[in-house]
Structure formats: structure tokens, C-alpha cells
Structure 1
């Protein structure tokens, strides 16, 4: 997988304007939010893991 492909700009407004129907528009919007949700989930998991480890170290 090319790293360059991860940084390509995607013009969501153009995709929605050229959408064949409303289902495609919803898919584009959901697809644009998925990476942020995944990163947020990973950050939350890391936060809870560190918090749990800190709690066990303090109790020793």
C-alpha cells in the first residue's frame, strides 16, 4: 500500500454533487467519518489502558 494514497485529498462536496441518489450521499458522509471514529476509538482504548495500569501501580 502506498503511503501517498493515505494522504490524497478527497473532495466530498464534488462527490455529493455528482451522486446518483441519496443513498450514495449517506455512504460518502459515513465513509468520511469512519477514519476519525477509528482513531478516536484507539485513543480511548489507549487512555483506558494507561489509566488501568497507573491505578494498579499506585495500589502496589
Structure 2
């Protein structure tokens, strides 16, 4: 399952930018390539915040 997800996530951004019809498409490709990273960062921050909050409540 993990290898299938990794295979689906492999996108050649440079090739898409080279074959882009106009600059708006290029901007969309760049934004679309950063969205998964931003979602993972937000998820990591949320999990970290909840863990710190839980630890603080256990110590009190």
C-alpha cells in the first residue's frame, strides 16, 4: 500500500512547467505541489500541540 501511494505521488514538476501553456498554469502547478507539504506541516503541528497540552495536563 505504501509503495502505491509513493508511486502516485511522484510528479515531475519540471516537466509540467516546461510544457505549460501559460504562466497561470505554472503558478497552479507550483501551488499544487506545495499543498501536500503544507497539509503535512499543519498536521504535525496539530499533533505536537495536542501532545504538549496533554503532557501539561498530566503534570498538573
TM-score above 0.5, yes or no: yes
Instruction: State how many pairs are aligned.
Output: 56
Q: Which residue of 2 aligns with 1:7?
A: 6
Judging by fraction of residues, say which structure has more helix.
2
TM-score, structure 1 as length reference? 0.86
**Structure 1, unaligned runs of 5 or more:** none
**Structure 2, unaligned runs of 5 or more:** none
Which SS does the other structure have where 2:20 is aligned?
coil
- Deviating beyond 2 angstroms after TM superposition, the runs of 4 or more aligned structure 1 residues are none
Larger RCO: 1 or 2 (CA < 8 Å, sep 6+): 2
TM-score, structure 2 as length reference? 0.86
Q: What's the RMSD between the two structures over aligned residues? A: 1.1
